[in-house]
Amino acid sequence: MLTAQQQAFLQAIEGLELQQVNHLLAEGLNPNFIDSEKGPAVSVWSDGLFKWWEVICEAYEAGEALSAEQKQATLQVHLDILEALIQAEANFHLWDSEECYGPLWDAASAACVPAVLRLLDHQVETNSKDEEGNTILSSISDLLFDCEFDQIDWSQALPEEKETLELLRSRGAKMTKELA
């Protein structure tokens, strides 16, 4: 059972209420707790990136791609909450309640290059595996392109997808078959 403060913290993360997140952390809230349904606070944060990515994808589909400035403007609060969690020493090695995916997987699947970069700079493991034994690079490649990383037709990729996968690769991410 979560405390009222923990519940308020998760609600603030979901609502992108940076001021409330910072306030609760300043009061000494330890962000390393796990909600039985939502998982750890870091997963609640990373789950929110999907909403950002959905807006980006919808703009592409409508033929009205957002500018880099527009993307950054809507992403900034997510990055600010991420930084607050890092400064509060949140454990980014925790995985969600199903133990399938972690924050790096979530950020990569949302093609959120700035979040992926910050997590990599924070030393989040690039070659952790999901419950099926797939690495993040293999899992995301399959999710986005239905194939392994080395088989992707980059002409079919959105710029964010390509940049995300190439960033992972440049920072040591391996395909599952490379670790076998």
User: What's the token pair of residue 151?
Assistant: 């088989």
If one counts every other C-beta atom within 10 angstroms of the C-beta of residue 119, the result is 26
Give the model's confidence band at 129: pLDDT under 50 very low, under 70 low, under 90 confident, else very high: confident
Closest CA to 136 of 94, 173, 92: 173
Q: Can you give the pTM of this predicted structure? A: 0.93
What region, left, alpha or beta, does residue 89 occupy, with left being phi > 0 and alpha being psi -120 to 50 degrees? left
Break the chain into its structural domains and give their ranges.
4-179
- pLDDT value for 94: 64
Report the CATH number of the 4-179 domain: 1.25.40.20
- pLDDT value for 98: 54
Average pLDDT over residues 35-57: 93
* CB-facing half-sphere around the CA of 128: CA atoms within 13 A: 18
C-alpha to C-alpha distance for 105 and 82, rounded to whole angstroms: 15
- Contact 171/120 with Cβ under 8 angstroms? yes
- pLDDT value for 97: 47
